[in-house]
Homo-oligomer: A and B are copies of this chain.
Amino acid sequence: MADAAQPVRRPERPLRRATIKDVADAAGVSRSTASRALNGRGYVGLGIRERVQAAAETLGYVPDDMARHLKERVSRSVGVLVSDLRTPFYADVAAGISTGARRRGLAMVLGDGSGSAVDEVETARRFVALRVAGVILTPVSAQVTTFLARQRVPVVEVDRHFGGGSCDVVVVAGAAAAGEAAEHLLGLGHRRIALLVDLAGWSADQDREAGFRQACATAGVPVDDSLVVRCGPGVAAARDRALELLRGPGAPTAVLTTAAWLAEGVWRAATDLRLRIPDELSLVTFDDAPWMSLVTPAVTAVEQDGVRLGEIALERLLGRIEAPAEPPQTVALTARTHHRGSTAAPPGARAVAGGRRSVNAVSHMGAHAGQTGV
């Protein structure tokens, strides 16, 4: 009996999280009024707003987005799916999206791929279950984009594309940058230039290869297909392939790589072979990484601004959400090249150049010399 008479002790911090009903009760109003007072829509009596806000504050009330979303049918989150967060480029993309999302009060749900297409779709399914407003991804196959399209979820593909023009795409203008890199090397007098691309065969690498070949064709220099090598994944694999390449009889005098890890493989291989850069081997790469400006000589690199790519992708996604019916857009960012010390005329250029060109002539022609050969 005594027990029954005791008032139930309300724990100071209830295990149950405060709901709008708690806030309404504390403020002495209805749930409707509390809701209106809190989110500022609709009329609310003088002084009521303050009272409700104070109650919310006291109770540490944080509205449940799930419930709100359920009612309002809108989402305040975006899904992001990148290949591998441990790769700085992808981390930068995620960082760019994150910054924009924070500014707009959006939550970012992030998944990183295991590389498998099936896992990607599984992650995308979680995004759909979470009812994200849209998805930004660096696709490893067409499957995710197709799945998401079927679910009517707006999609933006970053860095490479699989959708075949069926969704928005944000990339780096790789063909142009690869062309300029090739022209630079051709201008220095290189005739045997190797191109190392990711075995995965992303569209980004296809673009760059096309730009490379175009520049060579324009300069009238035939491309030796044995010098276009696909390798990966991972630095170790790249190093092995580079070792084969550089040690062979028809070794190139210059290498262009399409990713930082490919350049790292070449760098390590060159170190292994005691090949001096740039005297014996010139190196240019896509994807500027911190180490490239720390080593000696520093490596000439095409910067791909992942952060900017992410920011733009988010803008595109938001634009798409606003206007779902508009035709898909492809945004191509111009890449910036950091010219550093890893390129020079090929060894024995004076002799090899023969009737074509003297070393001095070459050096006067500058980065775009290759084009004068048209």
Chain A residues near B (Cβ < 8 Å) = 13, 15, 17, 60, 62-67, 69-70, 77, 84-86, 88, 91-92, 94-95, 98-99, 102, 105, 107-112, 114, 119, 122-123, 125-131, 150-152, 264, 267-268, 289-291, 294-296, 307
Contact = CB atoms under 8 A, between A and B. Distances in A.
Nearest to A114: B102
Q: Residue among A15, A65, A98 with the most chain B CB within 10 A?
A: A98
Given A107-B111, A264-B290, A91 B85 contact: yes
Top 9 nearest A-B pairs (CB, nearest first) are A291-B291, A91-B91, A85-B95, A66-B66, A65-B129, A110-B110, A62-B128, A98-B112, A86-B95
A14 to B, nearest CB: 9
A86 B129 contact: no
Contacts of A119: 102
A123 B103 CA distance: 10
Contacts of A122: 102
A131 B62 CA distance: 9
A65 B70 CA distance: 10
Given A64-B131, A66-B69, A98-B85, A108 B107 contact: no
A66 B70 contact: yes
Contacts of A109: 77, 107-110
A366 to B, nearest CB: 27
Contacts of A107: 109, 111, 126-127, 130
Given A131-B65, A264-B290, A290-B289, A152 B295 contact: no
B126 A105 contact: yes
19 contacts: A13-B150, A13-B152, A62-B125, A62-B129, A66-B66, A66-B70, A67-B70, A85-B85, A86-B307, A95-B112, A98-B111, A99-B114, A105-B126, A108-B111, A268-B294, A289-B290, A289-B291, A295-B296, A296-B296
A17 to B, nearest CB: 7
Contacts of A290: 264, 289-291
Contacts of A77: 109, 130
A110 B108 CA distance: 6
Contacts of A99: 112, 114
B17 A151 contact: yes
Given A60-B150, A126-B105, A294 B296 contact: no
Contacts of A67: 66, 70
A55 to B, nearest CB: 16
Contact of A295 (B102, B112, B126, B295): B295
Contacts of A267: 294
